[in-house]
């Protein structure tokens, strides 16, 4: 069975390589399917932004806000809200818009950050998106500006917000004369992020805010689909290669086994020739002509020949290197292989009975152990493994 053993070794190596490639591909695709980019701390080559502030000064207010640290590690600012304006407001901005226009953040659906406030506070988070139908470049009050609220504490509060589920304030629809049912906005044209006050923010008090670990997260299902397609193609290719390779290895194994059977059959014929040792000749000839008898066993041989059990085994091991049981099975299975090849219409059960097996399941088990395949598979492939013109295996006909 050497060809089959070599094939299974190759198949094991190929399987390990396919699994390793699949794992590497899965790691890459899953990583790519969950894109993320950090704005704070700023990533080199990532989304660039610059800080800015807005106040209620245009409404006559006196509220103030000051950026303390627009660095790479955090966005820190303090503010003081006064009631001078009807609608007091201050906000710190992260401006994304540059000479190329708003930033394309369509790959991202979620933002996470850590917010520290002293004192504890409730703040507004919003973004502004450019809408070609109603927006004037650089005039952010014409941009749809969906927002939501979050709370923060002095110890730091982790915040996670869904960028696709923010709410555009009603005032924008009124001032822009846009139908309020049109709540959609385009994350592919984001001009800024904002951190502003809420109605719960303290008045006439200096408050400090620090935003850190500001990261955008997304999901790109194209990579998952690509993973499924490529994995399927890879496993189908492996299955095709395995089946074809297994068929070739099986044919090679059967060919080698049939050649071995021809040699064994030729030797078996020699055992039927007269031996100078009459006892040896009697034992070999009796087994060689009676092996198809289901009742053949060591007891019947010793009773017929008159030699004891030890003597029979000693002769078989000296002449053939086999035990009695192994020799009888070899004779039967070799003859079964010949019948399977030469008699395509003969039922397998009849072949099992013809060579001395009363139990078809036991015959199938022994045959598969000897040839590496079932009798049915052997019949389908065995005839192809015998070259045209090869000498037929001699039939061992009983007296």
Q: Which pair of tokens denotes residue 194?
A: 């904002």
Torsion of CA 288, 292, 297, 298, to 10 degrees: 0
- Bridge-based pairing of strands 74-80 and 108-118 is unpaired
Which segment of 7-11, 89-93, 371-375, 385-389 scores lowest on mean pLDDT? Answer: 385-389
The confidence score (pLDDT) of residue 101 equals 82
Closest CA to 108 of 38, 190, 35, 30: 35
Which segment of 82-86, 101-105, 166-170, 313-317 scores lowest on mean pLDDT? Answer: 313-317
Beta-carbon contacts of residue 158 (< 8 Å; ≥ 6 apart): 112, 113, 114
Q: Which string of DSSP letters, residue by residue, matches 211-240?
A: EEEEEEEE--HHHHHHHHHHHHHHHHHHHH
The confidence score (pLDDT) of residue 99 equals 62
Q: How large a percentage of the chain has pLDDT more than 90?
A: 47
How far is 40 from 112, CA to CA, in rounded Å? 10
Local structure of residue 45 (DSSP, 8 states): T
How far is 345 from 347, CA to CA, in rounded Å? 6
75 pairs with which residues across the strands? 211
Beta-carbon contacts of residue 233 (< 8 Å; ≥ 6 apart): none
Under CATH, which architecture does the 37-219 domain have?
Sandwich (2.60)
pLDDT at residue 216 tops 50: yes
**Mean pLDDT score, 339-352:** 88
Report the Cα 296 to chain-centroid distance in Å: 55
How far is 194 from 38, CA to CA, in rounded Å? 16
According to the CATH classification, is domain 228-382 in 1.10.10.60? yes
CA separation (Å) from 278 to 285, 286, 291?
Answer: 10, 12, 20
Local structure of residue 397 (DSSP, 8 states): -
| pLDDT bracket for residue 366 (50, 70, 90) | very high
Residue 131: asked if its preceding bond is cis (omega within 30°), the reply is: no
Give the CA radius of gyration of the chain: 43
**Mean pLDDT score, 49-63:** 93
pLDDT digits (tens, 9 = 90+) for 107-146: 999 999 999 999 999 999 999 999 999 999 989 999 999 9
Model pTM above 0.75 = no
Name the burial class of residue 320, with classes exposed (0-12), middle (13-18) and buried (19+) by CB atoms within 10 angstroms of its CB: middle
Average per-residue pLDDT in the chain?
85
Backbone angles phi, psi at 157, to 5 degrees: -120, 120
170-173 long-range contacts, CB within 8 A, separation 24+:
172/141, 172/144, 172/145
The confidence score (pLDDT) of residue 395 equals 38
Q: What SS3 string covers 83-94?
A: CCCCCCCEEEEE
How far is 274 from 250, CA to CA, in rounded Å? 38
Of 184 and 392, which is predicted with more confidence?
Answer: 184
90 pairs with which residues across the strands? 55
Do the domains 228-382 and 37-219 match in fold?
A: no
User: Which residue ranges make up each domain of the chain?
Assistant: 37-219, 228-382
CA separation (Å) from 155 to 120, 158, 196, 210, 349?
Answer: 9, 10, 19, 11, 82
pLDDT at residue 190 tops 90: yes
């Amino acid at each position: 069975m050497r060809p089959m053993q070599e094939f299974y070794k190759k198949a094991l190596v190929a399987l390990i390589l396919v699994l390793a490639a699949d794992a590497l591909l899965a790691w890459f695709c899953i990583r790519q399917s969950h894109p993320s980019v950090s704005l704070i701390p700023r990533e080199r080559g990532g989304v660039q932004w610059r800080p800015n502030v807005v106040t209620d000064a245009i409404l006559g207010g006196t509220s103030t806000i000051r950026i303390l640290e627009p660095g790479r590690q955090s966005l820190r600012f303090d503010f003081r809200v006064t009631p001078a304006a009807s609608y007091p407001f201050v906000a710190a901005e992260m401006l994304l818009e540059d000479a190329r226009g708003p930033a394309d953040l369509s790959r991202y659906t979620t933002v996470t950050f850590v917010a520290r406030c002293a004192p504890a506070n409730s703040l507004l988070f919003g973004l502004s998106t450019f809408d070609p139908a109603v927006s004037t470049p650089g005039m952010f009050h014409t941009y749809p500006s969906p927002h939501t609220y979050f709370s923060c504490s002095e110890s730091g509060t982790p915040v996670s917000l869904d960028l696709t589920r923010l709410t555009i304030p009603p005032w924008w629809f009124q001032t822009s004369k846009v139908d309020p049912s049109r709540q959609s906005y385009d994350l592919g044209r984001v001009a800024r992020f904002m951190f502003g006050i809420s109605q719960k923010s303290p008045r006439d008090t200096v408050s400090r805010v620090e935003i850190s670990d500001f990261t955008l997260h997304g999901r790109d299902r194209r990579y998952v689909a690509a993973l499924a397609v490529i994995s399927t193609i890879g496993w189908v290719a492996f299955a095709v290669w395995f089946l074809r390779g297994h068929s070739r290895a099986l044919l090679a194994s059967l060919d080698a086994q049939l050649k071995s059977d021809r040699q064994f059959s030729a030797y078996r014929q020699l055992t039927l020739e007269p031996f100078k040792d009459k006892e040896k000749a009697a034992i070999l000839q009796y087994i060689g002509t009676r092996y198809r008898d289901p009742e053949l066993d060591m007891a019947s041989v010793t009773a017929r020949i008159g030699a004891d059990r030890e003597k029979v085994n000693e002769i078989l091991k000296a002449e053939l290197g086999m035990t009695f049981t192994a020799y009888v099975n070899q004779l039967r299975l070799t003859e079964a292989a010949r019948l399977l090849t030469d008699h395509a219409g003969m039922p397998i059960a009849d072949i099992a009975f013809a060579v001395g097996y009363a139990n078809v399941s036991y015959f199938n088990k022994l045959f598969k152990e000897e040839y590496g395949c079932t009798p049915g598979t052997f019949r389908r492939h065995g005839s192809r493994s015998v070259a045209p013109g090869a000498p037929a295996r001699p039939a061992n006909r009983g007296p």
